[in-house]
A and B are shown apart, each in its own frame.
Chain A
Amino acid sequence: MHLLLPGRRVDRLNARELLHSAQPPWRRDSGPHRPQGKTVVDFVIQYEAFIDGRYRPVVRYDGSHGTPHRDTLDWDDETIKKDWDLEATTHNDAVTEAIDDIQANWERYLDGFLRRRP
């Protein structure tokens, strides 16, 4: 699922794993101490900028390997920085934190990415 962000370049959020998880991997929590609603058990959300004719991942929030973390990426899609210091303790909160962070800092991430152009 690519959420398009029209501007001149039409950047996008790629939330593929979140949507893949929207059917079986969604789990209905139960019990007196469980939160209400659905639980995300897997997700990847990444902000991709359309540069030089293709989408390039700039920053990626990844919950698919256990602890949710943020990867800052270079132009070859290689991780140059991995941040494990998310405040979120659950995947649900990590998804919320990811979109809040991208919403607040997308220009800074894009600017940094462009400055790393090889």
Chain B
Amino acid sequence: MTDDNTGLNDQERAHTAANLELASRFIRELLTAPEHAGDIPEGAALVLMPEADPELAFANIALADRLSAEGQSVIMQRVGIVGPARPEWQGKEISSINVRQLTPHWAGEIDPEQIVIVYDANRDVLWIDFFGGNARQTAVPRNGFALVTVNLETQEAFGYIIPSFVAHAVRKVPRLAQILAVAELRPLTTDELSGIEPVGQEALDIQPATPARITVKADLDIMLGDIAKLGA
């Protein structure tokens, strides 16, 4: 509905008003405690995040994501955590996030000889690394089932981590169970999991990795396709 010269509908008007309220609170926080502004780069676009307004938060996250994809320097700044009664432990809360668009690309041509596949039965986690199985920096969600292991600096992708592999992924695509036939069965190390801990299991005895290999290229293509389609 538009009822004036501004062309704004009710939701747009509500969001703008709510964000102005956030801007007002943030500037007042700056006046009270400028150190809480953190290191905001000059010219950066600040997308303010509310404490208790999920609808506005989702809208603002979508905006930050879009601007970041367009190449802008974007900071997501949480508003409303400064106050005289703020307990000391809250000082460790993250109030500002530098939004950065991640566009991972495979680290090179995939050589079947370099593929490492490990299934950790205790965690029900499958790890696939296409480039020799060295420890990776982190993992980011690829879809509802799989994470992609990446190096944040180079944005190179190396493989997949699939939590709840049997419990969810195999139930979704039963033929993925065939991967277990060529997987090494052992606990995964924290490094191999890129620092994430899918189920919180305690550390188990770790044996040196002996990479399993897939020699049939067709199998690899099918599995890659299945994994890519898991979240579809």
Contacts and interface: CB of A to CB of B under 8 A. Distances in A.
Interface of A: 1-13, 15-16, 18-20, 22-23, 26, 37-38, 40, 45, 92, 95-96, 99-100, 102-103, 106-107, 110-111, 114-115
B46 A37 contact: no
B6 A110 contact: yes
B30 A22 contact: yes
B45 interface: yes
Sort A-B residue pairs by CB-CB distance and give the 10 closest, nearest first. Answer: A7-B12, A5-B19, A22-B34, A7-B16, A3-B23, A6-B63, A99-B24, A103-B20, A111-B5, A2-B45
A23 B32 CA distance: 13
B202 interface: no
A1 B46 contact: yes
Given A9-B12, A18-B27, A18-B30, 18 more contacts: A4-B47, A4-B67, A6-B15, A6-B16, A7-B12, A8-B8, A13-B20, A19-B37, A19-B42, A45-B27, A96-B31, A99-B24, A100-B24, A106-B17, A106-B20, A114-B6, A114-B7, A115-B5
A116 to B, nearest CB: 11
B23 A22 contact: no
Contacts of B183: none
A100 B27 CA distance: 11
Contacts, number: 105
Interface of A, secondary structure class, is mixed
B31 A107 contact: no
A112 to B, nearest CB: 9
A22 B30 CA distance: 8
Nearest to A40: B31
Contacts of B40: 1, 19
Contacts of A110: 6
Size bracket of the B interface: 35 or more
B128 interface: no
9 contacts: A1-B43, A5-B15, A6-B15, A10-B63, A16-B43, A23-B34, A92-B31, A99-B23, A100-B24
B60 interface: yes
Contacts of A96: 28, 31
Interface string B181-194: 00000000000000
Contacts of A19: 30, 37, 40, 42
B6 A107 contact: yes
Nearest to B8: A7
A19 B20 CA distance: 17
